[in-house]
Amino acid sequence: MLPLGLINKYMCKLSNWSLEIDSIVKDFNFNDFDSALEFVNKVKETCEERGHFPGILINQNVVRLTLTTHEEKGLSSKDFEVAELIDKI
């Protein structure tokens, strides 16, 4: 797991992600369920390239993504790299 100082440095680079214990989390709002699913499919493609996948919760038109590195039992630089890529979708 990354030290808190480094986590804070990475968090400053992200837009609207929240730190929740040993994960970073963000909700994405869409006009409808189909748009939410389209986004999830794009996230899948991006994450497959990195081999690092978020937890995904879809609730109608809201997608909640949660990133953590299970092998590290907490946050790693991979989580922040993937979050930045997701924000570009």
pLDDT computed for residue 23 by the predictor: 97
Q: What percent of the chain is predicted at pLDDT more than 90?
A: 94
Please give the residue range of the domain that contains residue 78: 4-87
Domain CATH for 81: 3.30.1360.20
Distance between CA 37 and CA 43 in Å, rounded?
Answer: 10
pLDDT in tens, 29-58: 999 999 999 999 999 999 999 999 999 999
- Angle made by CA atoms 39, 85, 32, in degrees to the nearest 5: 15
Q: What percent of the chain is predicted at pLDDT more than 70?
A: 100
Q: What's the total number of domains in the chain?
A: 1
Tell whether the model's pLDDT for residue 1 goes beyond 90: no
Dihedral angle of Cα 35, 66, 69, 14, to the nearest 10 degrees = 90
Tell whether the model's pLDDT for residue 14 goes beyond 90: yes
Q: What is the pTM of this model?
A: 0.94
